[in-house]
C-alpha cells in the first residue's frame, strides 16, 4: 500500500506554500514518486470564518503593516497562544480532524506556526500515533507558535533558529539544522547563465540587477526603476511585477524608451532561471526569496520587511554579510553603485557560499522519508 504524506500550510506570508511545494517535489525526486502527497491550506479548507480572516492578510500587510506587527508581538506569549487556540478550536479543530481522518496520512508535515498546536490536539483526540514533524521557514526570528509539544522533529534553517527553539523549551535532540526548502531547480543548476541570457534576449556582458516585490509586486518598485533611469548606472534590469498587472503594463510600455535594457515579467514560474541570469537582487525580506537568492549565490538589497516576522531576516542578511538594507528608493542607486564590481560585492558572494543550503529541500525530504 502506498504511504501518504500530508502537508499543512496557510497562505499568510513566509513562503509557506512555496516550502510545502518544494518538499513535495524533493520527496518525489528522491523517492521516484513513490509516495502519495497532498497539501492542505488548513484555514481555507478548514473553516469559512478563518478563510475570510486569512484573506485579510494581503490587504493588512499592504496598507497597515504596523497592525500585523502588533498582533505578531502580542501573540508571541504562551498564555495568549493558549487563548488563541481556545478561541480558534471551534472553527477549525473538527474540520482538521476530519481532513486527517479522510486522508489517513502516514506522516504529517507542518510548514506554518499557527497549525502546530491544533494538529497535536487533533491527533490526540483522534487517538492517532501518526508521526508529526515541523519545518520552520523563518531563518532567525521565531514566533513561539512554532514550538509545540509532541512534535517528533523540527527542521530549522540556522543555528540561531535552533537556539531560539531551545530557548522556547524544545529539546535540542528534536532539532536539525538543514536550511529553508526551496524548489529543487534552485539546486539542480542544469541551465547555464550565458545560455539563459540569450534565451531572454538580455545583454550578455551587462551587470544585471533583478527587482522583485513579492507576489503582489509591491515595495516601491516603480520608484526604484525611475531612480535608476535618472542615474548613469551601466546596468540592465530584470523586473518581476508579480500579480501587479498595472505595474507590469506600465513598465513594459516605458521599457523601450529607457536608456538601459529592461525586461519585465509578470507572475512567473521562471524565478530560478531569471536569478541565474542576475548579479544582484533587490527585494523585500521574505524568507523564501532570500533562501532562493542564496541558493543562486545572489547578493541582496532588502527594501522592505514586515514588522515582527521578517525583522530577523534583515538581521540575518546584514549580520552574515549577504547584502545591504535600503528602504529609501531614492538611495538605491548609490547602494548599487557601491556594490557593482567592488571588493564588498565579491566578499558577499564568498559569505553566501558559507551559509547557503541549496539542497535543503532534498535533505529534509530524506528526513521525511525516514519517518515513514
Per-residue pLDDT for 46 more than 60?
no
Band of the pLDDT at 49, cuts 50, 70, 90? very low
Q: Are residues 260 and 125 in the same domain?
A: no
Q: Are residues 126 and 236 in the same domain?
A: no
Residue 304 backbone zone (phi > 0: left; psi -120 to 50: alpha; other: beta) = beta
How far is Cα 20 from Cα 26, in angstroms, rounded to an integer? 10
63-67, 114-118, 160-164 — which one is most confidently predicted on average? 160-164
Reported pTM = 0.88
Alpha helices, H only, 104-229: 116-126, 159-167, 193-199, 221-229
Domain count within the chain: 2
Q: Are residues 207 and 145 in the same domain?
A: no
pLDDT at 324: 97
Could you tell me the CA-to-CA distances from 349 to 277, 321, 344, 346 in Å, in that order? Answer: 15, 9, 9, 5
Residue range of the domain that includes 159: 4-180+358-370
User: If you average pLDDT over every residue of the chain, what do you get?
Assistant: 87
Task: Write the DSSP string, 297-350.
Answer: T--EEE----TTTTHHHHHHHHHTTSEEE---GGGHHHHHHHHTTSHHHHHHHH
Are the CB atoms for 354 and 347 separated by under 8 Å?
no
Q: Are residues 203 and 295 in the same domain?
A: yes
pLDDT tens for each residue of 167-218: 999 999 999 999 999 998 887 554 555 565 666 667 777 899 999 986 555 6
Band of the pLDDT at 339, cuts 50, 70, 90? very high
Domain with residue 247: its CATH number is 3.40.50.2000
Are the CB atoms for 295 and 182 separated by under 8 Å?
yes
Per-residue pLDDT for 41 more than 60?
yes
Per-residue pLDDT for 270 more than 90?
no
pLDDT tens for each residue of 286-309: 899 999 999 999 999 999 888 888
How far is Cα 241 from Cα 249, in angstroms, rounded to an integer? 9
Q: How many residues comprise the chain?
A: 372
Q: Are residues 320 and 339 in the same domain?
A: yes
Q: Are residues 172 and 227 in the same domain?
A: no
Q: Are residues 159 and 235 in the same domain?
A: no
Per-residue pLDDT for 42 more than 70?
yes
Of the two residues 152 and 53, the one the predictor is more confident about is: 152
Q: Are residues 366 and 337 in the same domain?
A: no
Q: Which three cell numbers stand for residue 46?
A: 478548514
Rounded mean pLDDT, 13-40: 91
Name the nearest CA neighbour of 99 among 43, 153, 40, 31.
40
Q: Are residues 166 and 287 in the same domain?
A: no
Rounded mean pLDDT, 99-119: 93
Q: What do you get for the CA distance between the two ends of the chain, in Å?
A: 12
Q: Are residues 266 and 149 in the same domain?
A: no
Q: Are residues 38 and 141 in the same domain?
A: yes
Are the CB atoms for 348 and 299 separated by under 8 Å?
yes
Q: Are residues 210 and 73 in the same domain?
A: no
pLDDT at 362: 96
Amino acid at each position: 500500500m502506498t504511504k501518504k504524506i500530508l502537508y499543512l500550510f496557510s497562505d499568510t506570508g513566509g513562503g509557506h506554500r512555496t516550502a510545502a511545494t518544494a518538499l513535495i517535489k524533493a520527496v518525489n525526486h528522491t523517492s521516484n514518486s513513490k509516495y502519495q502527497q497532498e497539501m492542505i491550506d488548513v484555514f481555507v479548507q478548514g473553516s469559512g470564518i478563518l478563510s475570510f480572516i486569512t484573506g485579510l492578510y494581503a490587504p493588512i500587510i499592504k496598507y497597515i503593516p504596523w497592525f500585523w506587527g502588533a498582533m505578531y508581538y502580542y501573540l508571541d506569549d504562551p498564555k495568549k497562544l493558549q487563548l488563541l487556540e481556545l478561541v480558534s478550536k471551534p472553527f477549525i479543530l473538527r474540520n482538521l480532524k476530519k481532513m486527517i481522518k479522510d486522508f489517513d496520512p502516514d506522516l504529517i508535515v507542518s510548514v506554518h506556526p499557527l497549525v502546530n498546536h491544533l494538529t497535536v490536539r487533533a491527533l490526540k483526540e483522534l487517538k492517532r500515533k501518526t508521526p508529526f514533524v515541523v519545518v520552520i521557514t523563518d531563518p532567525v526570528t521565531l514566533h513561539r507558535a512554532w514550538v509545540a509539544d509532541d512534535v517528533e522533529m523540527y527542521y530549522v534553517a540556522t543555528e540561531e533558529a535552533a537556539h531560539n527553539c531551545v530557548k522556547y523549551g524544545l529539546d535540542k535532540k528534536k532539532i536539525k539544522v538543514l536550511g529553508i526548502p526551496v524548489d529543487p531547480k534552485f539546486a539542480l543548476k542544469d541551465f547555464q547563465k550565458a545560455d539563459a541570457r540569450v534565451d531572454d534576449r538580455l545583454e550578455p556582458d551587462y551587470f544585471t540587477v533583478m527587482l522583485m516585490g513579492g507576489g503582489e509586486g509591491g515595495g516601491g518598485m516603480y520608484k526604484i526603476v525611475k531612480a535608476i533611469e535618472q542615474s548613469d548606472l551601466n546596468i540592465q534590469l530584470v523586473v518581476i511585477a508579480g500579480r501587479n498587472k498595472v505595474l507590469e503594463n506600465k513598465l513594459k510600455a516605458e521599457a523601450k524608451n529607457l536608456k538601459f535594457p529592461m525586461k519585465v515579467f509578470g507572475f512567473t514560474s521562471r524565478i530560478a532561471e531569471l536569478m541565474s541570469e542576475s548579479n544582484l537582487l533587490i527585494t523585500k525580506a521574505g524568507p523564501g526569496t532570500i533562501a532562493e537568492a542564496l541558493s543562486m549565490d545572489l547578493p541582496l538589497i532588502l527594501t522592505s520587511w514586515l514588522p515582527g516576522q521578517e525583522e530577523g531576516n534583515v538581521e540575518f542578511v546584514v549580520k552574515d554579510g549577504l547584502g545591504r538594507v535600503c528602504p529609501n528608493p531614492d538611495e538605491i542607486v548609490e547602494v548599487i553603485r557601491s556594490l557593482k564590481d567592488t571588493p564588498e560585492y565579491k566578499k558577499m558572494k564568498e559569505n553566501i557560499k558559507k551559509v547557503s543550503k541549496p539542497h535543503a529541500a532534498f535533505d529534509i525530504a530524506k528526513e521525511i522519508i525516514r519517518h515513514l
